[in-house]
Amino acid sequence: MSFTQDDITRSGYRLPTAPPDSWRTYDERNPIPGYFEFDWLSSRHPDLYHQFALSTVGLMNKLHTLFDLTGCDVVDIGAGTGRSAMEAAKKAKRVFAVDLYESVVAFGRNALQKIGVTNVHYVIGDREHLPLAENSVDVAINAWAELNPHEAYRVIKPNGYLIQMGATLEALCGEITAELAPDYEWIPQVVAPAEVYAPDYPDAHCTADNSIWGGIPVNGPIHVHQFTYVADYGDYTELAAITGRLYGSKAKCYFLTKQQATFAWRLQLMIGQVSK
């Protein structure tokens, strides 16, 4: 049965999950959901998004070298299909994985059950109104999803931490950013040079003030750590298929032409201790 954009809009956060692997068949000129519509894509095709989200594993692996989650109560804001929550659970006492899309939550819960993780608790909720009490978690993490810093601040305990993770501004689409930037006005036209995607490119460190989080009170500066991560998908045709559905034909052709099964990212973590 065909599915229209109107169907998606009407379904809202209750968008039904498509059958596994159905994302492989679509109209390249007019896909539904459209390219870059990550919320709709993850909710309609959570299996696609889960396969793609290896950069989140890279972010969490780096976080474990910079910050100790051992014994912490953690909220994962915009948890998606669970890549970040699963990794946080390896150290944290409890992880509250919050996402608004019912299909994504169902996928995440099933994935956790399959691997026997019991300290992650999925909760349907909005980043604007987190379903948690004030001062109830030690750490709030946020990987790739939009963030309301003030709402995150509300649920973090005094002297707890907010950790935001994703790509650097100049590398929003990883190593294919320069390929895609001419076609999309919202991608910054100043892009990272190709050398930053080399596996041995050095990490970088800097600090920022609380203006990047809407002025929420923090103790000292926000620490920013940038690094290069290379995600390996094992098969270049599979990577081409995944990125082609998410980003369009240019991404698909890029990996097919190079016969490349890896996707390099310039990622960053922003870590700040809140002041209450």
pLDDT band of residue 189 (cuts 50, 70, 90) is: confident
Is 34 a member of any domain? yes
Lowest-confidence region among 92-96, 183-187, 202-206, 269-273: 183-187
Q: Quick: pLDDT tens for 39-90.
A: 999 999 999 999 999 999 999 999 999 999 999 999 999 999 999 999 999 9
Distance CA 112, CA 270 (A): 27
Q: Quick: pLDDT tens for 201-216.
A: 999 999 999 999 999 9
Average pLDDT over residues 260-264: 98
Is 133 a member of any domain? yes
Which residues does 114 contact at the CB level (< 8 Å), separation at least 6? none
Distance CA 181, CA 164 (A): 24
What global pTM score does this model have? 0.96
What total of structural domains would you count in the chain? 1
Is 88 a member of any domain? yes
Q: What is the DSSP letter of 34?
A: P
Question: What is the CATH number for 66?
Answer: 3.40.50.150
pLDDT band of residue 1 (cuts 50, 70, 90) is: low
Q: Quick: pLDDT tens for 114-136.
A: 999 999 999 999 999 999 999 99
**Mean pLDDT in the chain?**
96
Is 211 a member of any domain? yes
Predicted confidence (pLDDT) at residue 2 exceeds the cutoff of 80? no
pLDDT confidence of residue 41? 96
Distance CA 270, CA 275 (A): 16
Q: What is the DSSP letter of 264?
A: E
Q: What is the DSSP letter of 83?
A: H
Q: DSSP readout, 196-229? A: GGSTTPPPEEEEE-GGGGTT--EEEEEEEEEEEE
The H or E element that residue 155 is part of is helix 149-155
Q: Quick: pLDDT tens for 128-166.
A: 999 999 999 999 999 999 999 999 999 999 999 999 999
Range of the domain at 31: 5-168+200-231+268-274
Is 153 a member of any domain? yes
Is 144 a member of any domain? yes
